[in-house]
Chains A and B, each alone.
Chain A
Amino acid sequence: MSALRLVETDIRSEAVSVDARYPQVIRQAIGKLNELTQLPDNWDSYGGRAPTKDALMGAVQLAMDLFDERTPIPDVFPVPNGNIQFEWACLGLDIEIEIESNRKCIACFEDLESGENWERAFTFDLTELRKVISELTARNQPQNRLRAVNA
C-alpha cells in the first residue's frame, strides 16, 4: 500500500519518523494527501491522472515550508493532470496553489477586502507566497477573526 511519511534526511543516519514534531495543520494535510495516494488513474471517470509522486511530495514539502500552528487547514484536491491543489476560501481571502513538484507550483490569490489579486508561478523563492499564507494565518487569530466576521 502506498503512503507518505516524513523522515529525517540526515544522510549519515537511518530514516526516523518525525510526524509528531510538526504542527497539526501539516499532519492533517499529510493525512489528506495520504488518502490521495490511493487514487487510481481515471479517478474522475474523465481520464484524470492519479496524483504523481512528485506532486504529492511537493505538497508535503510546501506545507512544511509555509504552514505554522495557526494556519487554517486547506482543502486538498487532486487535479486531473496529476497535480495537487491546496485551497482556502475564508477570512476574506481566496488562495489556490496548484503543486506540480517540490520545484514548481502556481498560485492564484485574491484579497476580497482590498481587491488585490494575482496569479504567479513559484520555484525556489517563496517569499510572496509565504506573505499571503502569513496574512491568512494572521486573520485566523481569535481577535482578528472577530474583525473579519464583523467587517
Chain B
Amino acid sequence: MTAQQDILSFKTPPLIEVSFSLQFEPIKELHIGFIGLIWDRFRDRYPTVEIADELAHEIEKFGVISRKSQGIQFLDRVPVPRVLFISEDQQYLIQLQKDRFIFNWRRLSNESVTYPRYEPLRSRFLDELEIFNGFLAEKGLERVSFNQVEFTYVNHIDAEDRSIQQVFKDVIDESRFTPSLVLEAFSVNLKHLIQVEGENIGRLYTSIEKGNRISDGRSIFILKFVARTHPLESTIKGVVASMDVMRREINDCFSTITTEKMHDEWKRQ
C-alpha cells in the first residue's frame, strides 16, 4: 500500500482552516517598503491587505525544561508588522513577515465552500512561495534559510446533538456523571514528539474544546492540530517532505481520536 492510499479522506470533512507556515532566519533587509512591492506581485489575486501583530519566532527544542509559551521583546523596538494579503473570496490568505511565509485556506460562514484538498493547496502554496522567492532574488535580498515548517488543521464539528463520545474515542464518557451534572465545557490538550527514524524532528499539538461558533452561536467541538518540525532539509524539497510527514501524522491522529460513526457521517472515501 502506498503512502497516499493510507491517508484517511472524506467527501465532507469538518475542516474550516488549513495553514502552511514556513519560518526562516529573519531577512533583516525586508523592510516595510519591500513588503509593499511584494504585494504588487500578489495584488491581482489578493486585493485586500490587513496588518496584524508579528508572530514570535518559534523553534521546537528538545531536552529543555517545558515552560508555558513565552517570548522576549525589546521594549524600544518598533513593531514590525505581519501583513495579510487576502483573496477576493476571503478564502485564501498569504501572511508575510521578516521570518515567515504563511499560506491559509479557510472556510468562513459559507457552508457550500468545499475543502480544496491537500495536494492542490500544497501546490498553490508552493506557487505563491516561488513568487516570494523570485522577488527576493530579483531584489538581491537574502535567500531564505528554512528552520521550521508548521502545519495547522482546524476542524469544527457540530456538537448540538452529539455527546463527546459520539465524536471522540476514549476521551470522556459523559454518561458516567450523575444526571444532575451537565457538561458545559471541556478541553483536551495533547503534545506528541514527531520522530523520523528515532530522531526527534518536531511536535504535534492536538487540542479539543467545546465552544460556540461565532457566526450562528451553535455548539461545536473545535479539533485543532498544529504540527511543527525542523525541515528534513533547508530546501523546498525538504519542506515538502516535512509537510507530507506532518500531514500523515495529523491524519493518523485524526483517525485515532475520532469515531467510525463520524467517519461515516463525513463520507469516508
Binding site for B on A (CB under 8 A): 1-11, 15, 18, 37, 53, 56-57, 60-61, 64-68, 102-103, 124-130
B63, B69, B75: the one within 8 Å of A125 (CB) = B63
A56 smallest CB distance to B (angstroms):
8
Judging by beta carbons under 8 Å apart, are B64 and A126 in contact?
yes
The 8 A CB mask of B53-84 against A (1 = contact, 0 = none) is 10111111111110101111111100000000
B75 partner, pick from A5, A60, A61, beta carbons under 8 A: A5
Q: Evaluate contact between A3 and B75: CB separation under 8 angstroms.
A: yes
Which of these, A11, A37, A53, A103, contacts B147 with CB under 8 Å?
A103
B200 at the interface (CB under 8 A from A): yes
Complex-state Cα separation, A103 to B56, whole angstroms: 14
Name the CB-closest residue of B to A57: B72
Distance (whole angstroms) from the CB of B122 to the closest CB of chain A: 23
The 4 residue pairs across chains A and B that have the minimum distance between CB atoms: A127-B63, A9-B71, A65-B64, A9-B56
Contact yes or no, A60 B61, CB < 8 A: no
Cα distance A66–B76 in the bound complex, in angstroms: 27
B156 within 8 A of A: no
A2–B74 CB distance below 8 A:
yes
Given A11-B55, A103-B147, A125-B200, do A60 and B72 touch, yes or no (CB 8 Å)? yes
State whether B72 touches A4 (Cβ < 8 A): yes
Smallest Cβ distance from B115 to chain A, in angstroms?
A: 24
When C-beta atoms are compared, the residue in chain A nearest to B54 turns out to be: A11
Given contacts A5-B75, A102-B57, contact A124 B70 (CB under 8 A): no
Considering the complex, give the chain A residue whose CB is closest to the CB of B57. Answer: A102
Residues of B within 8 A of A (CB): 25, 53, 55-65, 67, 69-76, 147, 200, 230
Measured CB to CB, the closest approach of chain A to B188, in angstroms, equals 18
Q: Which of A3, A4, A103, A130 contacts B64 (CB 8 A)?
A: A130
Q: Which residue of B lies closest to A58 (CB)?
A: B72
A10 to B230, CA, bound (A): 21
Complex A-B: 26 CB contacts under 8 Å: A2-B75, A2-B76, A4-B72, A4-B73, A4-B74, A4-B75, A6-B71, A6-B72, A7-B70, A8-B69, A8-B70, A9-B56, A9-B71, A11-B55, A11-B56, A15-B71, A18-B70, A53-B74, A60-B72, A61-B72, A64-B65, A64-B70, A66-B65, A124-B60, A124-B61, A125-B63
Pair A3/B76 contact, Cβ less than 8 Å? yes
Are the C-beta atoms of A124 and B65 separated by less than 8 Å? Answer: no
Q: Closest residue of chain A to B199, judged by CB? A: A125
Rounded to whole angstroms, the CA-CA distance of A56 and B76 in the bound complex is 14
Q: How near does chain A come to B84, taking the closest CB pair, in angstroms?
A: 13
Considering the complex, give the chain A residue whose CB is closest to the CB of B25: A103
Closest to B66 in A: A65
Q: Please give, as numbers and ranges, the residues of chain B lying within 8 Å of A18 by CB-CB distance.
A: 70
